Amino acid sequence: MKFSKVAVAAAVGAAMIAGSAQAQSVKIGNVVELTGGGATVGNNWKNAVVMAFEEINAAGGILGKTVELTNYDTQTNAQNSRAMVQKALDDGSYVILGPIYSSSTKVNMILTQRAEIPQIVGSEAPFITTSGNPYVFRTSFGAAQSMPKLAAYLKDGVKASSVGVIWVNDDFGKGGRDTVITELKKRGISIAVDLSTEVGQADFASDVIKLKNSGSDAVFAYLHEEESARLLKEIKKQGLRQPIVGETTLMNQKVIDLAGDAANGAKGHVGLSADAPVPAVRAFAKKFEAKYGNKPDHNGIKGYVAAYTVKYVTEKMGKFDSKAFARTLHGLTISPKDEPGILMEVTWDDKGDVDRQSFLVEVVGGKQKIIEVLPKLGN
């Protein structure tokens, strides 16, 4: 009898401790590419997310609760990402962050939609926000927002009348390619050559020969980071004279690091850049570099913004409610005045697409140089 009383007391005590621990923390799942082909971008995102939640926790957490962040590795594999999102949901995540690769997001966002848990992703392929999923939110422009800006730049800035397009044949590349070609044609620019390349392709010699012989006024390259660097090196080797224009990845810091001199002269449109002439972004980049020893790329900024979005939206609601979170974020504008961690003013539309300032940049002397700041689309 005595024993059972002790046992009951212990059980109640344990339950209370567990209960209070639960009450003091909130779980957030970060499902991202930590290994495999997407490890570069995934780790940038992860490091920034970790840094952001460390800051948030140090400042007292969200509504007084500590954020308990768990990182799940998708291995840059779509099937695996689905399993990991399921695991993050099982673990009771309040919001899910990531992944970045569109091919993974496409497979796993169906799960968060079903569970009615918001998912803030780093993916840029158009279909993510056109499939009518009310729980998915971007952190950067989708191709549908960025490509019109880029096409306008090719017409007015580069003054090209024909463009050679080289792209990577996966969801990301194909989505961008389809959008940019439509936008270019709308502006009367012809497509001199349309080259599909493979994920992980090592040799771009024959592609560059085709670009060289195409007689186009400019080249538009839309590849992942490592492949972009290889392409730029080959372009330099073969002495291609056309301007090389890209969207975000081409001017990525990682590409600049890998391609060295060959990256100089590459230009295009960047949604987010660590070199943006925005003091908050520069300050973030400095903190990141001090902590991790390397400069963040746009994925780092996306991850950081995602974390602070969770904080701001939750505090605005005054409660932890996943369903209401998604409703609140639709149509919301967050300004750095209200939440410094958001870095730049950003607005989400009813589909989960973002709108914010963006930049035309050129790589000069191994660094991104901002040529022009483009206003928000909605302005």
Partner 1 sequence: MRPMTIAGLAVLGLLIVLPFGLKGYGIYILSLWIVYSIAAMGLNLTLGYAGQVSLAQAAFLGIGAYTTALLMKAGYPFFVGFGLSAGICFGVGLILGYPALRVQHHFLAFVTLGFNALVWLVFRNEEWLTGGTYGLMGFSRPSFFGVSTNNPVVFYFFSLALFLLLAFVLWWIVRSPWGRAFQALRENPIRANSLGVDVRRMTLLAFAIGSAYGGMAGSLFAPLVEFIDPQSFMLDTSLMLLLMVIVGGSGHFFGPILGALLVILLPEWLRFTEGLYLIIYASLVIVLLAVCPSGLLGLYERTAAAVRARSSDRRESAGGSAP
Q: Which of 259, 249, 200 is nearest to 220 (CA)?
A: 249
Among 65, 106, 230, 236, binds partner 1 (CB under 8 A): 106
Q: Cα-Cα-Cα-Cα dihedral of 145, 112, 46, 261, to 10°?
A: -30
Structure tokens at 241: 């004279």
Residue 206 binds partner 1, judged by CB under 8 A: no
Among 66, 134, 152, 170, binds partner 1 (CB under 8 A): 170
Could you tell me which stretch among 76-84, 142-150, 201-209, 313-321 binds partner 1 (CB under 8 A)?
76-84
- Beta-strand pair 367-374/358-364: antiparallel
> DSSP class of residue 37?
T
Residue 78 binds partner 1, judged by CB under 8 A: yes
Could you tell me which stretch among 47-55, 87-95, 185-193, 348-356 binds partner 1 (CB under 8 A)?
87-95
Distances in whole angstroms, Cα of residue 264 to Cα of each of 209, 253, 267: 20, 12, 9
Residue 320 binds partner 1, judged by CB under 8 A: no
Could you tell me which stretch among 100-108, 134-142, 148-156, 261-269 binds partner 1 (CB under 8 A)?
100-108
Report the 10 Å Cβ neighbour count for 327: 14
Among 44, 47, 103, 273, binds partner 1 (CB under 8 A): 103
**Which segments of 217-278 does DSSP mark as H helices, in order?**
225-238, 253-259
**Contact flags string 13-52 toward partner 1, x per CB under 8 A:** ---------------------xx-----------------
Check: CB of residue 17 under 8 Å from CB of residue 57.
Answer: no
Among 79, 130, 206, 213, binds partner 1 (CB under 8 A): 79
Report the 10 Å Cβ neighbour count for 279: 10
Residue 81 binds partner 1, judged by CB under 8 A: no
- HSE at residue 361, side-chain half, CA atoms within 13 A, is 30
Subset of residues 127 to 156 that bind partner 1, contact rule: CB under 8 A: 127
Can you give the binding site for partner 1, defined by CB under 8 A? 34-35, 71, 73, 75, 77-79, 82-83, 86-87, 89-90, 103, 106-107, 110, 127, 169-171, 173-175
